[in-house]
Structure 1
Amino acid sequence: MVTADKASPQYPEAAWRLIVAAIDAVGCPARRIADCSEGTVSAFSLIAPELKGHDLTDSTLSLWRHRKVKRIPRREKLIVLKLTLLCLGDPLSHSWSDAQRRTALQNAVEFADEVWKARDEDEESRALAVMIKGDARYARTVEMLSEYGERLLRQVGVRSRGEAEAKLAVLHQLNGDSDDARYWSVLAAAVNPAYKAVSSQKELFSTARRFAAGYERVRDREAARMYLVRAAGGGDGDSAYQLGQMAELEGDVRVAVDWYRRAADYGHPDGRLRAESLMATF
């Protein structure tokens, strides 16, 4: 079932590119696509009756193609567009089975969802840009964490259930920014009443390693490294040892030795032995 949208938002760059790329991929003139859309709506009337009345016109397609409108099309229009393009791309589409039609419809729905997702992400980016410009804390976060900071800032609020705020608090605390750390801790508690701010350096390091482990599980080593490097910089031997293991897995033996040595200096029981073992391979 296609859900109608009462209002369309401003037309974003990413959504526009998806629509134009889909039209260009078929290589048909607007008139041909428009003529085919009416038959497409009719052909799919049994499994998608909500598409009735949403066939396309060549003038509308021309406006989309040349980006002469400020709002993205309704989802129904996008679904009809994709279905029409799929039909034009397959000379045997007139003899599709019901299963093939349902597959095509699913493909079209996913296309419409992708366009609207691009719109949402574009709006989030613009809103974040405004926040970064107007809020010094946001600006400091992006300066410190770059793209990863932007990723966390997009998740701030109910959407993250306090996790993004908690991560920001830990990273700022590891960086020595106590005021910003306190700010994000307060926000984390406001979103998630079960949240407890870290109360000791040992707990701070442990929390950093826990967040890093979460990113390791999804193979996001760069994000994991951000926590471990900062914790190791604060004197955490376990984080330094894990960085040594990461470097060793990546084949960077000299960097691994450096981290293992630092781990040993911070009191990790296996750091020196592992460093000496690797040095024997030089």
Structure 2
Amino acid sequence: MVHFTSVFAGLSLVAGSLAAPSKEGLFSKITKRAGTPNSSGTNNGFYYSWWSDGGADATYTNGEGGSYSMEWKDGGNVVGGKGWSPGKARTISYEGEYKPNGNSYLSVYGWTRNPLVEYYIVESFGTYNPSSGATKKGTVEADGSTYDIFETTRTNAPSIDGTQTFQQYWSVRQQHRSTGSVDTGLHFDAWEKAGMKLGTHDYQILATEGYFSSGSSHMTVSEGASSGGGAGGSTGGDASQGGDASGNGNGQQGGNGNSSQQPGSENQPQQQEIDTGANEPCQ
């Protein structure tokens, strides 16, 4: 997911990484491990993005429709998920199992241009609150819970447009869950009222990110409100592009919010987009 950029200096989540330890100290110890190659593209009518810094033993697999699975362990930063390109104000429903062990989070994640903004609507997280160190801008009542709103600045960080200085916007749900619906329009409106303006949408996905942690995430995303709300989960669907062809490429991904790189094609070097078939791991 570039980035989940942040994809989760001292890195504070806010600074672009989920972790509290210094980025230099952690990444200097990374040993490249085998895993699913970075890629992004379309799969069964959904946009997907998978990115790893190579330090974790991690796999990402696209499933039928809007489903995906991730497993990761050991060191490094990983982020992946499915959604749409471009993003917009839509209601996103999701369900599944999210089981983090350490620094991780599950969120609606995306980017806009003009202004360049990386945003997160965090539904659940592991041991580290991604908003730590960020400036609180208010709260919003949405989808059965209160979300705390934060903003932070990323300086000379990876983005969908290469190394840039840009804003990160956060809505962090107070009651964690791994099944439910997110009305992104409510968050976008609340951000606007707080002076946090968005631009033209790039991609928008339900993303799972892990930062020097371990865990698994088996999720399905769709557009529209879900029939049930489900709180719970971990501690603590407009259509997209089609594409059922098999094959994976070296997708672009970059960091996301709480990290220094992550989902998508942002905080990482640009990679080619590809279409992949259902139920096949990215390659």
The bucket for the TM-score relative to the shorter chain is under 0.3
Q: Which one has a bigger Cα radius of gyration?
A: 1
| More relative contact order, 1 or 2 (CA 8 Å, 6+ apart) | 2
Choose between structure 1 and 2: higher helix proportion: 1
Choose between structure 1 and 2: higher strand proportion: 2
TM-score w.r.t. the length of structure 1 is: 0.21
TM-score w.r.t. the length of structure 2 is: 0.21
